[in-house]
Amino acid sequence: MPRKRREDVIELTREKILDAARQNMAKHGSAGLSLREIARSIDMTAPAIYYYFASLDELITALILDAFNAMADALEVARDKKLSEGGTAAQALFEVCLTYRTWAIEHQTDFELIYGTPIPDYDAPSEITTPAAARSGDVFGKLIYMALQSGIFHPLPPYDVVPPAIADHLRELYNAPALDTEIMLSNYLTAVGWPQLHGIIMLEIFGHIGPFVGDVAAFYQQQVINMMKAIGFTEPF
Amino acid sequence: MPRKRREDVIELTREKILDAARQNMAKHGSAGLSLREIARSIDMTAPAIYYYFASLDELITALILDAFNAMADALEVARDKKLSEGGTAAQALFEVCLTYRTWAIEHQTDFELIYGTPIPDYDAPSEITTPAAARSGDVFGKLIYMALQSGIFHPLPPYDVVPPAIADHLRELYNAPALDTEIMLSNYLTAVGWPQLHGIIMLEIFGHIGPFVGDVAAFYQQQVINMMKAIGFTEPF
DNA sequence: TGTACATCAGTGAACGCGCGTTCACTGATGTAC
DNA sequence: TGTACATCAGTGAACGCGCGTTCACTGATGTAC
């Protein structure tokens, strides 16, 4: 058995620390993270952590980055699975929507970490987290774009036209005065659909909607279907 | 000038403490609440707080209760204003939807406190907070019910029928085997619409959707209109 | 109106605790010759 | 293969800090007679 390379051992220990941190979050919430408790739970001393992370804040940044990437990975896996089975972009989008909730429920503290209340007195370095944060949105947007291109998707009013103010905003954001209509539309429809999914999940994980509907998973799935149909997707997907 | 009654003075000081606590939350987030810092900011000593609240947890509970009630009050005021102007239930509902966001933005930390990540190691006494939490949902539900009753609102498919599983759940929740159809429908439609509004706000206050749409207020208003029309309300409202 | 007493609305010192971070150090492992 | 040295992956003690909470106390205010 070949000996492990030094960098790999370091990477392994970093992972061990991050895993312990995730369990620590699960126990006390992301705002309750304690470097000393993390160290204790893996039989290290607190200063040892500093060999792997420059500070607690840097550790938190690593957690956030991992969470954004893990969520995007999960969405991409769901998308690729469906597409490689010969599924349409619409079918892949449906799966991605379901996976968004599944991942959130199964990794609740990670989800809270990235989409919940920010940690007090911690400032995320946005130049690091923003690209990772954008990945998930891209999965939605690109599938909608794919569906538009392939001709299986014809948006219904009022979702067939990007409101002028938002179109202007997108042109500025992409820094492209002649931004492609279908790119703008897929961005806009992401902005329309995503919050609908997000809202259910947010209310669910903090216990506000369960009492109203009982089986949230079934309710969520139905809302995804309703949303996609409202936008203009036609079943089956 | 009549002298203030002792209980009034106590109530005033409680309010002063709670106000300071709200400012403390605005600074460090709800998870960063510090009894000592609250006391300092109003030139009291920390132990003095104990004359008004039995513990930090009890103070937090008071904040939560106030926040739920203040939000519900705001929604009710918006509703009553519209109705007293001769507006329809649909118009009042529209105003209430807009007020939901306005209140959230203007009282962001209060909104986070009740709908964001729970405070580490704090457990809300649900028998106290639940009734207050339910008030806001009731405003939505009752207006929808009113619109149904008045005949100005005829839900469109698929929103004209409560899914059987949810109907069963509601009958159990209300402990009423023969629960009125329109009551069930108004509960169901609240569960459909509320998360759509909620999702936008959650993403907005934590900075996730602004980059996509620019003017979130305008985007939100448009989504409220789309949602109400999708459910079956007819303009103008 | 004056005095005695009770209650009120706090203060100030102290408690034990856990925290993030620094620092000087050390034994184990890896490398060079 | 053996030895000398460098680096690695930590340890243990200590730092200063802010926290929630308790306790014994005190001066100001209100009440009774």
CB under 7 Å from strand C? A 3, 33-37, 46-47, 50, 55-57; B 6, 9-10, 13, 43-48, 51
Identify the pLDDT of residue B26: 96
Contact B169 A203 (CB under 8 A): no
Q: Residue B185 pLDDT > 80, yes or no?
A: yes
Nearest CA in chain A to B167: A213
Average pLDDT of the residues of chain B: 96
Inter-chain Cβ pairs, chain A and chain B, closer than 8 A: 145
Stretch B170-175: mean pLDDT: 96
- Nearest amino-acid residue to C11, taking CA and C1': B45
> Which residue does chain B place closest to A212, by CA atoms?
B191
Contact B226 A194 (CB under 8 A): no
If pLDDT is split at 50, 70 and 90, which confidence band does B4 have?
A: low
B191 falls in which pLDDT band (50, 70, 90)? very high
- Average pLDDT over chain A reads 96
pLDDT of residue A48: 98
For A141, which residue in chain B has the nearest alpha carbon? B212
pLDDT(A6) > 80: no
Query: Is B191's CB within 8 Å of A197's CB?
Result: no
* Chain B neighbors of A34, CB-CB under 8 A: none
Instruction: Provide, in whole angstroms, the distance separating residue B10's CA from nucleotide C8's C1'.
Output: 11
Listed in sequence order, the DSSP H helices in B122-215 are 126-150, 164-173, 181-205, 210-213
**Mean pLDDT of the A92-97 span:** 98
* Token duo for residue B134: 């339910």
Report the b/e string of B29-48 with b at 16+ CB within 10 A: bbbebbbebbbebeebeeee
Phi, psi of A123 (to 5 degrees): -115, 120
State the best of B127, B140, B212, B227 to mutate against chain A, taking most chain A CBs within 10 Å. B212
User: Mean pLDDT over residues B160-186, rounded?
Assistant: 97
With b meaning 16 or more CB within 10 Å and e meaning fewer, what string describes B66-99? bbbeebbebbbebbeebbeeebbbbbbbbbbbbb
Single-letter code of the amino acid located at A45: T
Determine the residue among B28, B205, B213 to mutate to test chain A binding: the one whose Cβ has the most chain A Cβ atoms within 10 Å: B213
- Among candidate residues A194, A115, A222, the one with its CA nearest the CA of residue B191: A222
Give the whole-angstrom CA distance, residue A93 versus residue A78: 9
So what's the pLDDT on residue A1?
36
CB distance under 7 Å to strand D: residues: A 6, 9-10, 13, 43-48, 51; B 3, 33-37, 46-47, 50, 55-57
Contact between A198 and B194 using a beta-carbon 8 Å cutoff: no
- Rounded Cα distance between A221 and A145, Å, is 22
- Mean pLDDT computed over B191-212: 97
Exposure string over A191-200, b if 16+ CB within 10 A, otherwise e: bbbbbbbbbb
Please list every residue in chain A whose beta carbon sits closer than 8 Å to the beta carbon of residue B194: 199, 203, 209
Alpha-helix residue ranges (DSSP H) falling in chain A: 6-28, 35-41, 46-49, 56-84, 89-106, 108-115, 126-150, 164-173, 181-205, 210-213, 216-231
Which residue carries 């503290």 as its tokens? A109
CA B7 – CA A98 distance, rounded (Å): 54
Asked if A214 lies within 8 A of B31 by C-beta distance, the reply is no
* Mean pLDDT value across residues B114-132: 96
User: Which among B199, B186, B184 is positioned nearest to A224, based on CA atoms?
Assistant: B199
Question: How many angstroms separate the CA atoms of B204 and B201, rounded?
Answer: 5
- CA–CA distance, A114 with A70 (Å, rounded to integer): 11
Chain B residues whose beta carbon lies within 8 Å of the beta carbon of residue A191:
209, 212-213, 219
CB contact under 8 A, B29 and A191: no
CA A66 – CA A58 distance, rounded (Å)? 12
- From first CA to last CA, the distance across chain B in angstroms is 48
Please determine, for residue A131, whether its predicted confidence score (pLDDT) is greater than 70: yes
The whole-number pLDDT of residue B118 equals: 96
Of all protein residues, which has its CA closest to the C1' atom of D23? B47
Q: What is the DSSP letter of A54?
A: S
* Cα separation, B233 vs B22, whole angstroms: 38
Residue with structure tokens 């939100």?
B220
- B90 min Cα distance to partner chain A (Å): 20
Q: Is residue B64 a contact partner of residue B33, using CB atoms and an 8 Å limit? A: no
CA-CA distance, B10 to B27, in Å (whole number)? 26
d(CA A37, CA B228): 49
Indicate if the pLDDT at residue B1 is higher than 50: no
pTM metric for this prediction: 0.96
Q: What is the mean pLDDT of residues B11-28?
A: 97
Taking residues B54-78, what's their average pLDDT? 98
**B206 near A118, Cβ under 8 Å?**
yes
Q: Using 50, 70 and 90 to split pLDDT, how confident is the model at B5?
A: confident
Closest CA to A223 of A115, A136, A98, A122: A98
The pLDDT of residue A5 is: 72
Query: What distance in Å separates residue B199's CA from the closest CA in chain A?
Result: 3
Q: Mean pLDDT, to the nearest integer, of A104-118?
A: 98
Which helix or strand (DSSP H or E) is residue B223 part of?
Answer: helix B216-231
Task: Tell me what pLDDT residue A70 has.
Answer: 98
Closest to B13 (Cα-Cα) out of B40, B41, B42: B42
**Tokens (6 digits) for A34:** 């304690």
DSSP per residue, A201-218: HHHHHTTSSHHHHS-HHH
Q: What is the mean pLDDT of residues B124-147?
A: 97
Distance in Å from D1's C1' to A47's CA comes to 38
Q: Which of B119, B203, B222 sits opposite A198 (nearest CB)?
A: B203
